[in-house]
Chains A and B, each alone.
Chain A
Amino acid sequence: MAISDAAPLVETRNLVKKFGAFTALNGVSLKVYPGEVHALLGDNGAGKSTLIKVLSGVFPATDGEILVEGKAVKFASPRNATEAGIGTVYQDLALNPLSSVTRNFFLGRELTHFSSPFALMKMKEMHRIAAEEMAKIGITITDPEQAVGTMSGGQRQTLAIARAIYFGAKVLILDEPTSALGQKQQMEVLKTIRRVQQLGDIAIILITHNEIHARLIADRFTFLSLGEVIGSGTSKDLEGDDIKRLMAGGAEIGDLAKELAV
Chain B
Amino acid sequence: MNTSETTRQEADRHASKSWFATIFARPEIGPIGVMLLLFGMLGYFSIPAGEFSWNPFAGEGFNALGIRNNLKVISQLAIIALGAGLLIIAGEFDLSIGSMIGFAGACMAMILRWGFSVIIPYLSFEGGIHLEFFTLLHIPDVSPLGALLITLCFTLFFGWLQGYIVVKSGLPSFIVTLGGLFFLRGLTEVSLRSFNHRPDQAKGATTVTEIPDIKNIVDVPGHGEMEREAAKALPETDLLNILKDVPADTVASLSERLAHTYQRVADAKTAIMTERGVKPLERALENAIESGNEQMVTTIQDKIATFKIDPVVAKSVTDIDIARAYIDTLHSARPIANFFGGDIMEPVFDWLYFPIDWNTNNFGNQFAQGLYSCVMICLIMALLCYVVLSRTQAGNWIYSTGGNLMAAKANGVPTNKVKIALFVFSAFCATIFAACQVFEVNTADAARGNLKELEAIAAAVIGGIVMTGGFGTVLGIIVGAFIFGLAKEAFFYIPGIDGSFYRVFLGLVIVASALLNENIRKRIMGAI
Contact = CB atoms under 8 A, between A and B. Distances in A.
B14 A98 contact: no
A20 interface: no
B524 A149 contact: yes
A96 B391 contact: no
Nearest to A140: B11
A118 B394 contact: yes
B521 interface: yes
Contacts of A93: 407
B399 interface: yes
B9 A140 contact: yes
Contacts of B9: 139-140
A224 to B, nearest CB: 24
A94 B392 contact: no
B129 interface: no
Nearest to B15: A142
A117 to B, nearest CB: 4
Contacts of B10: 139, 152, 154-155, 188
Contacts of B396: 99, 103, 106-107, 110, 121
B411 A98 contact: no
Interface in A97-148: 97-99, 103, 106-110, 112, 116-121, 123, 139-143, 146-147
A1 B14 CA distance: 35
Contacts of A244: none
A110 B400 CA distance: 12
A108 B409 CA distance: 9
A108 B393 CA distance: 8
B471 interface: yes
Nearest to A120: B391
A94 B14 contact: no
B410 A117 contact: no
Contacts of B391: 120-121, 123
B403 A117 contact: no
A31 interface: no
A153 B521 CA distance: 18
B254 to A, nearest CB: 46
A27 interface: no
A92 B525 contact: no
A107 B470 contact: no
A247 interface: no
A92 B407 CA distance: 8
A203 B57 CA distance: 69
A159 to B, nearest CB: 12
B393 A112 contact: yes
B397 A96 contact: no
B470 A99 contact: yes
Contact of A103 (B14, B399, B526): B399
Given A96-B399, A97-B403, A150-B526, A108 B388 contact: no
Interface string A152-180: 10110000000000000000000000000
Given A108-B413, A142-B16, A98 B408 contact: no
Contacts, number: 104
B412 interface: yes
A195 interface: no
Nearest to B412: A108
Interface residues of A, number: 39
Contacts of B404: 94-98
In this complex, which of B14, B397, B410 has the most chain A Cβ atoms within 10 angstroms of its Cβ? B410
Interface in B376-428: 387-388, 391-394, 396-397, 399-400, 403-404, 406-408, 410-413
A121 B393 contact: yes
Given A92-B406, A96-B403, A117 B394 contact: yes
A96 B14 contact: no
B420 to A, nearest CB: 13
A96 B401 CA distance: 9
A94 B407 contact: yes
Contacts of B521: 98
Which of the listed residues B388, B396, B399, B413 has the most CB atoms from chain A within 10 Å of its own CB?
B396
Contacts of A109: 411-412
Nearest to A106: B396
A245 interface: no
Given A94-B411, A107-B411, A149-B525, A99 B392 contact: no
Contacts of B470: 96, 98-99
Contact of A120 (B14, B392, B407, B466): B392
A79 interface: yes
Contacts of A146: 14
Residue of A109, A118, A155 with most chain B CB atoms under a 10 A cut-off = A118
A98 B407 contact: no
B525 A107 contact: no
Contacts of A143: 14, 16
A108 B406 CA distance: 12
A93 B525 CA distance: 14
Contacts of A139: 9-11
Contacts of A117: 392-394, 397
Contacts of A112: 392-393
Interface in B507-528: 521, 523-526
30 contacts: A94-B404, A94-B406, A95-B407, A96-B399, A96-B407, A96-B408, A97-B403, A98-B399, A98-B466, A98-B470, A98-B525, A99-B403, A99-B470, A107-B407, A107-B413, A108-B400, A108-B411, A108-B413, A109-B411, A117-B392, A117-B393, A117-B397, A118-B392, A121-B393, A123-B391, A140-B9, A142-B11, A142-B16, A147-B524, A149-B525
Interface of A: 78-79, 82, 90, 92-99, 103, 106-110, 112, 116-121, 123, 139-143, 146-147, 149-150, 152, 154-155, 188
